[in-house]
Amino acid sequence: MRFDEKLFSYVLEASKEFENGFDGNPVVPTAEAIANLKQFDEPTPTTSTPAMDVIKMLHEVGTPAATLSRSGRFFGFVVGGSLPVAHASSWMTTTWDQNCGLAMLGYANAMFEEVSAKWILDMLDLPADSGMGFVTGATMAGFTALSSARQKICKDFGYDLRKSGLRNAPEIRIIASEDIHTTNVAALNYMGFGRDEIEFTPVDEEGRIIVDQMPELGPNCIVIIQAGNINSGAFDDFKAICAKAKAVGAWVHVDGAFGGWIKVSKARGHFGDGMELADSWSIDCHKWLNVPYDSAISICRDRNAMMEAFAINASYLESDGDRMPNNFTPELSRRARGIDVWAALKHLGKDGFGKMIDRTCDHATWFAGALSKIGFTIMNDVVINQVVFCLVDNDDARLARIMERVASGGRAWFGPTTWHGRSVYRMSISSHETTQADLDVALQAIKDAMD
């Protein structure tokens, strides 16, 4: 029989065991569990191994070494969990095993992308006719949008980039915040721009671009701004920057990896006011939307710019609809990421999604207040889900010792960061799993670790 019921029953039980262990297992795997991974480093297999034996080894050796980034007590990076509905849809997507590059290889996949795109543009108050590509993560989302921007600028200068290449292309200037996330620099590197070519703009104490100190702009400029600073959670002044750019025909891109979703929040949606004035946006779906990896979206106001940058033409590639999925991403063969996004949005609805965002932000506000009562200084304005903290006595070495004890204790994990030139710690609450009980456990872990 084609379906191996015994094998998949085992996988189901193993998955239940993993998820039911969130409260009792260490958030970061033990040294022993990590060392045991060496068991996978075997000579190249020459004979077959029963499928059940393969999966049992994966679970028995691999699961203990898994970082519980999906749990409610992982605060070190801006990563979400997986909503049960999105987790289930991901299993279904894998079962279908269809390439989402072409509609003819999966008509339902193409429809899920089209519907998800329509819903997202509506939720975020972005132009309804914008182009949207479903990609792997923030880096590729930025790469896709910024490549589309370059395509459009070159075309406006009368230059065919895809035909004539970069050597004689018009000069393009990149303007970005001094505190821009490194994934944007990586995306620009992939496009052929060096770090020294980026014109970095000074920022204020929260990491926001100081608009008055931006360089003169022109029609050959791409300006990269932020919806949610990776440390402070602060938002750039979208209205002022977009007005300055639009006056001279510059392109504005919003890195909204996690903060771009803020428009869905009823309580904090105002932080995203003016975001809709930009030309492109990049947003992760495995952060606040809480869908499984890998999933992000790249959006461009000028959908034709995306299609001109990425459309692939070949004699065997049929065009059977207005929106061919491969026209909006750098990939032709890819999994149907739009299905998990559709499932999460259908399940939560705009109101439910907004409440989930506000809940994580409320948790951050509460935890910041609790930390300030036990000897910590909160170094940022806690406007969304990010908290940057140090000790009141500014003893960074002692802070590192405390947080290392917290990590080794396994009850919670906070990530180190650099803020205002200092090595401090950051808390990011992005998972739908986080509850007040998780916060209480994490806070107690810090108290117990203080010397």
Give the pLDDT score at 68.
94
Helix (H, G, I), strand (E, B) or coil at 426: strand
Give the pLDDT score at 241.
98
CA atoms of 1 and 391, how far apart (whole Å): 62
Which amino acid type is present at position 319?
S
Give the pLDDT score at 312.
79
DSSP 59: I
DSSP 193: -
CA atoms of 400 and 415, how far apart (whole Å): 10
pLDDT digits (tens, 9 = 90+) for 405-435: 999 999 999 999 999 999 999 999 999 999 9
pLDDT means per 10 residues, the chain with 451 residues, are: 87 94 92 96 96 96 95 92 94 88 80 95 97 96 98 97 94 96 96 97 97 98 97 98 98 97 97 98 96 96 94 62 76 90 97 98 98 97 98 95 96 95 95 97 97 76
pLDDT digits (tens, 9 = 90+) for 346-369: 999 999 999 999 999 999 999 999
Side-chain-side CA neighbours of residue 331 (13 Å) = 16
Residue 378 bridge partners (DSSP): 389
Count of other CB atoms within 10 angstroms of residue 96: 14
Residue ranges covered by each domain of the chain: 5-68, 88-345
Evaluate the omega torsion of the peptide bond into residue 294 and state whether it is cis, within 30 degrees of 0.
Answer: yes
Tokens of 71: 């749990």
CA atoms of 337 and 114, how far apart (whole Å): 12
Cα–Cα–Cα angle for 341, 345, 349, rounded to 5 degrees: 175
Architecture of domain 88-345: 3-Layer(aba) Sandwich (3.40)
Give the pLDDT score at 419.
94
Phi, psi of 294 (to 5 degrees): -100, 140
Give the pLDDT score at 104.
74
